[in-house]
Structure formats: structure tokens, C-alpha cells
Amino acid sequence: MIYLDIETGGTLPNNFLNYIKGWIDEIYYKTAEFYPGVYCSYYQTADQIKNYIGSSLGSITKFWVWNVNCPPSQGCNLNSTVPDPSGSGVSYARAWQYAQSPKPSGISCTGYSDTQCNKTYGGYTKSVDLDIATSKDPSVY
């Protein structure tokens, strides 16, 4: 699985959609060992891409979406119940980035603070993003 990272959210212009479709075509039809995936915004972008690439490519392309808005994101809180990626607002999402660190501007909810997404390992503290997936290894088709 190779994911195309689309950081732009909202409605995409046609030339960008043409690029995305061409990239997906290239990965799916010209490589035997990889499947295409798209990392994008939950808001308008995922549906726009899926509709643009058509039903055959839309069914094999996997979507990893970001939606850090509270709710549905629980922020940097790690509850015992892991939310399903479909809770992102994209019912077909395979993975969901539901928290970013540092806290994105404009996000103000109890699930975020300036240090909640910091994790310490081996004496080193680093800000981390929190993601969930429908499988232990979302890179496997």
C-alpha cells in the first residue's frame, strides 16, 4: 500500500483531481505489488476523490482521513474504547488521524492541551499524532 499525502482540504480543482486519478492508475495498473491509498481531509475531499476516480478505482483505493475537530475526535485522550475510523465522518475510511500535536489552531475542546500528545520513551519526549485503523497493519490490502 502506498498512500498519496494530500494536505489540502475542501474542494479540489480538476487539475489536482486529474493528478490524483493518474497517480492511482499508475500504482494500481502498472505495479503488481502495491495498492493505492489516499491520505486526505474528511471534509469534502475524500468523497470528491472517490467520486472522481470512479467505482472501480474507488473500491480498491484505501482512504486514511484526518479529522481533528472535537467532536468527533477525542483529542489526545486515549480512552479504553478505540473509535472506529468511520467515526471520522467518512464511512469507508480505513484509517483516521484524529489528533495532531501540537494542537491545531482553532481547535478548543477538553480533549486537547499543549502537552497531552507528548509521549516519552527512553527519556526523550516527542509530540505525536494519534491515528487508528481498521487493521493492525493498514498498509496491507
Confidence (pTM): 0.85
From first to last of its 141 residues, the chain has per-residue pLDDT tens of 899 999 888 899 999 999 999 999 999 888 878 889 999 998 899 999 999 998 777 778 899 999 887 778 777 776 667 788 999 999 999 999 988 877 777 777 766 666 668 888 999 988 888 888 888 877 776
Other beta carbons less than 10 A from residue 134's beta carbon: 14
Say if residues 112 and 99 touch (Cβ distance below 8 Å): yes
